[in-house]
Chain A
Amino acid sequence: MDTTSSRLNKAMILPALLFLLILFYFPLAFIAGLSVNAPNLSAANYERFLANETMLRVGLRTFLYAGLVTVTCRVLGYPLAVFLSRMAKAGRSYLLVCVILPYLTSLLVRTYAWMILLSDHGLINSALLGVGIIDRPLPLLYSTFGALVGMVHLVLPAMVLPIYAVVHGMNPEQMRAAKALGGGPLRSFLEVFLPQTLPGVRAGCILVFAISLGFYITPAALGSPRDLMLSNIIAKLVESLLDFGYASAISVILLAATIIVYAFLGGGLGGMVKGGAQGSSGGERRASLPSRMAKAVGNAGPMAGLQRWLWDRNIGRSARHALPFHVLWYAFSILTLLFLILPSVVVVIMSFTGEDTLGFPPESWSLRWYKTFFANRTMTNAAITSFWIAISSSLLALFLGITASYALVRGNIRGSQFLYTLILAPMIIPSVVAAVGIYKVFAAWGIIGSVPGVLLAHTPGSLAYVVIILSGTFMGLDRRLEMASASLGASRLRTMFRVVLPLVAPGILAAGIFSFIHSFDEIVITSFVAGVTLQTLPQQIWLIIQYQIDPQIAAVSTMIMILPFIALPFFRRR
């Protein structure tokens, strides 16, 4: 590599950093200032947190639950991602849309669907009672179990897609070669397959853990009274006590603790970015040997150890009979898929009710709630506004994120781990706290209540999704392909567009989907930044469900879910 291009690789991180500096860190500085009571500096807010046993316990619980959710998603998501990558191309894209269905269903409607599924007289308890497995209802709803089910369901797509993007870009010949050279299925998997997928697994874990730390509506709605999360307390401090200072201090502590956890957990960020640097120093990683395997497992920490344990249990027994193992794998994946789509199915069915309120199963059927939506100009206008904001925000995030991830993985930048954390932070800072900082800065700039204001406010969060997913995808990419392209005389730009981008297309698609939905669903920051002329769809949905149990919401959610299915054939024709 000549120095010009390596400098260029490094420089590609600048647009994203500059953007975050202005639109996230500048507002965050206000927040940090509030937390230390600027200008009369004092650590009182921090001392108050550390001296409060309840806060510490809630903080610990928040991290514990985020960890539990991450491990569960890892166990459910990995087999499903690999299963999906093995599917024939035609059906696969439809199944991938099924995977993201939880993200497409409005939070409040999805929560209501879980209430219907999990309650004492709900579908699951009724089924179990009917079959006679239990003789009285299990306390599924309003228990820690219910909270975990709701959380895992929501973030599982964020585990599946990054892994899928990496598996999809892998060369299947290597597995065949490994088998031809006498490696059993177990050995081929552990020594050839698994190590190559680790970047995707890491990306998934980082993403899921970060999102889980910010949960508060889902555990509050489905969990037991004890399932209090830190974000819940932070939101209350801002929303009902105007205690910006204390809320900011807790947010800063949350961010710091997250960074420490990532650094501690078997490589986390460090392993991720350093792994990329190793990959760039040659193609040796491809020649995975047991020693490398052990190292890779070490890098991924307890997660990979658990995966290995699962594999030992499953394959160890069935290695001689490959078929039952595959059957088990497929059955497990299909059950996971069913879990993902179940609440959405309930929502779709409820949307066709003829009744005045949501209920399951509906007592009569009609299309009236679809008609209500299309007759309501506030709703349709809000939907159009949200759509454009989400498209623009995710395109911006993709541009900034693709360049930044490439720079992080290929740029050999000193301190890349730190930069990665900088980009991740918008996911960790609770949005209600970020909203206060953003409001102050945007008010000074005079962009409150404008479409550009709202989309710029959404983009830092979207960017975090893009960078986490794409740095995983870039790491899974064989560097030698770029070298080959360059040695054949292709310019850097040509290599980028003709070789690199097509190979990471699934990753870009996954990143685009998450950043689109992040913006399309955002409600907290929007409610601050949107002024008197601008209304977004989630705001309207939230308001409606505040006042009535309106099946119109189910109808809107159903249409949002169906859109990608309709759009798919058009994408695939290209």
Chain B
Amino acid sequence: MKPSLRAAALAASLVGLSVGQAPAQALNVFVSGGAFADAVIEAFVKPFEAETGITVNAVKSEMPFPKWSLAVETNTVDFDVALTSLGFGLQLWQAGAMTPIDYSIYDAKELEGLAPQFRPEWGVAAIVNGLVLAYNTETLPEGKRPQSWADFWNVEDFPGTRTLMVPYIGTSSLPEALVADGVPLDQIYPLDVDRAFRKLDEIKPHIRKWWESASEAQQMFNAGIVDMGLSFDGRIVALQKAGKPIAFTFNGARYYASYWAIPKGAAHVTEAQRFVEFATRGANQATMTKIMGYSPPNRTAFEHLPADLASSLITAPDNIKMAYPMDAGWYAAVGPDGKSNSERILERWQEWIIK
């Protein structure tokens, strides 16, 4: 090929790539990625298309929090539905970047199945994540496996390599420190930040690694690098399915949901509302739980789940009693100095960790 021809062929293939992949009228839903996205497509997207006849373009990608805000600000919103965490969702709502959820289209029984914290004005809970105390049953003998955060702080009686998380996405390991220090679960928030850092001082020399992402924690348990620590329940379940000797307790666990939300300026708001409603019905959430093992926010989902699976979920009645919800409102609250609690914790953390 002559160079000019080659260039023309290249240009042609680029044009081919940039146009006409998704139908223009499709509902654009960000479904995240990996096995999670596959489960979302199986449990929600395909049945939704079958029931409503609406075509969904399931985008296997995440919507970065700052991009969401920029897209609304510059009037270039090209998606209709996306998942967001509690902390980010609250901030986006406060910034006016969300379309309110239309709860009038919900069935009364389904709505009742969703606890108020799982149906704020700006989003409906898709899954519930539990931050639990996990441990390796191969390296830790019976009796040496921590069953509470107080045990985790007790390095004499429970030796082993430990991990906790850094303050990120509006959360941190501060609440665990307070639980270990004996604060009752219903009084964790508002966080006593000074007390939490004092308690963290005790454990600091024994923490081998402060993880930054859920996958990092999962990898450390998978590779046997740590013996005990904070992790997401769903990640531990995935490791158990792969035959890894990791167990966890819901005792003193913290939970919060990820939410389906609709950006302000979405092109297909009516269809988007219908998709969110469909994806948060108990029966559909049960399908998702059966595939991924993540806890459903809608209580009616438990009518569709086998007992052994139900008992491994943090939203199961017996388990949720041992746990407490994360208060995202507290993290997002802005003080007189113009800084949010999240911001203040992050700054204090950075100062604390490099000492």
Chain A contacts to B: CB under 8 angstroms: 52-55, 57-58, 61, 112, 115-116, 119-121, 141-142, 220-221, 225-226, 228, 233, 236, 238-244, 355-359, 378, 384-385, 388, 391-392, 432, 436, 439-440, 443-444, 446, 448-452, 527-528, 530-535, 539-540, 542-550
- The answer on a CB contact under 8 Å between A388 and B17 is yes
Q: Which residue on chain A has the smallest CB distance to residue B79?
A: A532
- The answer on a CB contact under 8 Å between B208 and A142 is yes
Q: Which residues from chain B contact A392 at a C-beta distance below 8 Å?
A: 10, 14
Top 7 nearest A-B pairs (CB, nearest first) are A543-B33, A547-B34, A443-B74, A544-B34, A451-B18, A356-B242, A443-B76
Is the C-beta of B129 less than 8 angstroms from some C-beta in chain A? Answer: no
Map CB proximity to A onto B176-216 as digits: 1 under 8 Å, 0 otherwise. 00000000000000000000000000000001111011111
Is the C-beta of B142 less than 8 angstroms from some C-beta in chain A? Answer: no
- The answer on a CB contact under 8 Å between B34 and A226 is no
> Looking at the complex, which one of B35, B225, B244 makes contact with A141 (CB distance below 8 Å)?
B225
- The answer on a CB contact under 8 Å between A547 and B222 is no
For residue B96, give the distance in angstroms from its CB to the closest CB of chain A.
Answer: 13
Known: A241-B346, A359-B223, A450-B18. A540 touches B60 (CB 8 A): yes
Known: A357-B244, A543-B34. A54 touches B17 (CB 8 A): no
Q: Which B135-181 residues have a C-beta within 8 angstroms of A?
A: 161, 168-170
Q: Which residue on chain B has the smallest CB distance to residue A223?
A: B209
- The answer on a CB contact under 8 Å between A357 and B78 is no
The answer for the CA separation of A550 and B37 in the assembled complex, in Å, is 14
20 A-B pairs with C-beta separation under 8 A:
A52-B347, A58-B354, A115-B225, A142-B209, A225-B210, A239-B66, A240-B169, A243-B343, A356-B243, A357-B242, A358-B222, A359-B222, A385-B17, A432-B66, A533-B21, A535-B59, A540-B33, A543-B61, A547-B215, A549-B222
For residue B118, give the distance in angstroms from its CB to the closest CB of chain A.
Answer: 22
Q: Which residue on chain A has the smallest CB distance to residue B353?
A: A225
> Looking at the complex, which one of A55, A533, A543 makes contact with B62 (CB distance below 8 Å)?
A543
- The answer on a CB contact under 8 Å between B61 and A548 is no
Is the C-beta of B342 less than 8 angstroms from some C-beta in chain A? Answer: yes
Known: A119-B223, A226-B353, A228-B353. A549 touches B10 (CB 8 A): no
- The answer on a CB contact under 8 Å between A550 and B34 is yes
Q: Which residue on chain A has the smallest CB distance to residue B209?
A: A142
- The answer on a CB contact under 8 Å between B218 and A448 is no
For residue B97, give the distance in angstroms from its CB to the closest CB of chain A.
Answer: 10
The winner among B30, B36, B223 for most chain A CB atoms within 10 A is B223
Is the C-beta of B350 less than 8 angstroms from some C-beta in chain A? Answer: yes
For residue B266, give the distance in angstroms from its CB to the closest CB of chain A.
Answer: 11
The answer for the CA separation of A528 and B66 in the assembled complex, in Å, is 9
Known: A119-B225, A436-B66, A532-B79. A549 touches B218 (CB 8 A): yes
Q: Which residues from chain B contact A241 at a C-beta distance below 8 Å?
A: 340, 342-343, 346
Is the C-beta of B280 less than 8 angstroms from some C-beta in chain A? Answer: no
The answer for the CA separation of A359 and B219 in the assembled complex, in Å, is 10
For residue B313, give the distance in angstroms from its CB to the closest CB of chain A.
Answer: 18
Is the C-beta of B2 less than 8 angstroms from some C-beta in chain A? Answer: no
Q: Which residues from chain B contact A546 at a C-beta distance below 8 Å?
A: 32-34, 62, 213-215
The answer for the CA separation of A446 and B74 in the assembled complex, in Å, is 10
Known: A236-B346, A532-B79. A120 touches B238 (CB 8 A): no
Is the C-beta of B269 less than 8 angstroms from some C-beta in chain A? Answer: no
> Looking at the complex, which one of B32, B220, B239, B347 makes contact with A543 (CB distance below 8 Å)?
B32
> Looking at the complex, which one of B88, B340, B350 makes contact with A228 (CB distance below 8 Å)?
B350
- The answer on a CB contact under 8 Å between A527 and B62 is yes
Known: A115-B225, A388-B14. A228 touches B216 (CB 8 A): no
Q: Which residues from chain A contact B346 at a C-beta distance below 8 Å?
A: 236, 240-241
The winner among B70, B168, B207, B346 for most chain A CB atoms within 10 A is B70
- The answer on a CB contact under 8 Å between A120 and B161 is yes
For residue A223, give the distance in angstroms from its CB to the closest CB of chain B.
Answer: 10
Is the C-beta of B317 less than 8 angstroms from some C-beta in chain A? Answer: no
- The answer on a CB contact under 8 Å between A58 and B350 is yes
- The answer on a CB contact under 8 Å between B354 and A236 is no
The answer for the CA separation of A120 and B224 in the assembled complex, in Å, is 9
Chain A interface secondary structure, helix, strand, loop or mixed?
helix
Q: Which residues from chain B contact A220 at a C-beta distance below 8 Å?
A: 212
- The answer on a CB contact under 8 Å between A439 and B70 is yes
Q: Which residues from chain B contact A355 at a C-beta distance below 8 Å?
A: 242
> Looking at the complex, which one of B30, B60, B219, B224 makes contact with A121 (CB distance below 8 Å)?
B224
- The answer on a CB contact under 8 Å between B219 and A112 is yes
- The answer on a CB contact under 8 Å between A545 and B215 is yes
Q: Which residues from chain A contact B353 at a C-beta distance below 8 Å?
A: 225-226, 228
Is the C-beta of B51 less than 8 angstroms from some C-beta in chain A? Answer: no
For residue A228, give the distance in angstroms from its CB to the closest CB of chain B.
Answer: 6
The winner among B18, B243, B351 for most chain A CB atoms within 10 A is B18
Is the C-beta of B65 less than 8 angstroms from some C-beta in chain A? Answer: yes
- The answer on a CB contact under 8 Å between B350 and A240 is no
> Looking at the complex, which one of A242, A439, A544, A549 makes contact with B219 (CB distance below 8 Å)?
A549
Q: Which residue on chain A has the smallest CB distance to residue B354?
A: A226
The answer for the CA separation of A239 and B14 in the assembled complex, in Å, is 31
Q: Which residue on chain B has the smallest CB distance to residue A54?
A: B351
- The answer on a CB contact under 8 Å between B69 and A225 is no
Is the C-beta of B47 less than 8 angstroms from some C-beta in chain A? Answer: no
Map CB proximity to A onto B31-60 as digits: 1 under 8 Å, 0 otherwise. 011111100000000000000000001011
Q: Which residues from chain A contact B78 at a C-beta distance below 8 Å?
A: 448-449, 531-532
Q: Which residues from chain A contact B342 at a C-beta distance below 8 Å?
A: 240-241
The answer for the CA separation of A535 and B282 in the assembled complex, in Å, is 32
- The answer on a CB contact under 8 Å between A225 and B223 is no
The answer for the CA separation of A360 and B304 in the assembled complex, in Å, is 39
- The answer on a CB contact under 8 Å between A532 and B57 is yes
Q: Which residues from chain A contact B243 at a C-beta distance below 8 Å?
A: 356
Q: Which residue on chain B has the smallest CB distance to residue A526?
A: B61
The winner among A357, A448, A450 for most chain B CB atoms within 10 A is A357
Q: Which residues from chain B contact A55 at a C-beta distance below 8 Å?
A: 350
- The answer on a CB contact under 8 Å between A527 and B67 is yes
For residue B154, give the distance in angstroms from its CB to the closest CB of chain A.
Answer: 21
Q: Which residues from chain B contact A532 at a C-beta distance below 8 Å?
A: 22, 28, 30, 57, 59, 78-79
Known: A391-B10, A547-B33. A54 touches B354 (CB 8 A): yes
The answer for the CA separation of A233 and B347 in the assembled complex, in Å, is 10
For residue A249, give the distance in angstroms from its CB to the closest CB of chain B.
Answer: 15
Q: Which residues from chain B contact A444 at a C-beta distance below 8 Å?
A: 74
Q: Which residues from chain B contact A548 at a C-beta distance below 8 Å?
A: 34-35, 238
Map CB proximity to A onto B1-28 as digits: 1 under 8 Å, 0 otherwise. 0000000001001100110011000001
Is the C-beta of B91 less than 8 angstroms from some C-beta in chain A? Answer: yes
- The answer on a CB contact under 8 Å between A547 and B161 is no
Q: Which residue on chain B has the smallest CB distance to residue A527?
A: B64
For residue B279, give the distance in angstroms from its CB to the closest CB of chain A.
Answer: 18
Known: A243-B343, A443-B70, A546-B34. A535 touches B61 (CB 8 A): yes
Q: Which residues from chain A contact B218 at a C-beta distance below 8 Å?
A: 549
For residue B198, give the distance in angstroms from its CB to the closest CB of chain A.
Answer: 18
The answer for the CA separation of A104 and B216 in the assembled complex, in Å, is 21
Q: Which residue on chain B has the smallest CB distance to residue A549?
A: B222
The winner among A55, A58, A528, A543 for most chain B CB atoms within 10 A is A543
The answer for the CA separation of A398 and B343 in the assembled complex, in Å, is 42
> Looking at the complex, which one of B14, B65, B70, B350 makes contact with A54 (CB distance below 8 Å)?
B350
- The answer on a CB contact under 8 Å between A242 and B222 is no
Q: Which residue on chain A has the smallest CB distance to residue B69?
A: A242
The winner among B32, B64, B220 for most chain A CB atoms within 10 A is B64
Q: Which residues from chain A contact B70 at a C-beta distance below 8 Å?
A: 436, 439-440, 443, 528
The answer for the CA separation of A111 and B293 in the assembled complex, in Å, is 27
* 20 additional A-B residue pairs with CB within 8 Å, beyond A221-B216, A356-B241, A443-B74: A52-B347, A53-B351, A54-B351, A61-B354, A116-B223, A121-B224, A225-B353, A356-B242, A357-B244, A385-B17, A448-B76, A448-B78, A532-B57, A533-B59, A539-B61, A543-B61, A545-B34, A546-B32, A549-B215, A549-B222
- The answer on a CB contact under 8 Å between A236 and B168 is yes
Q: Which residues from chain A contact B169 at a C-beta distance below 8 Å?
A: 240
Map CB proximity to A onto B60-97 as digits: 1 under 8 Å, 0 otherwise. 11101111011100111011000000011001000100
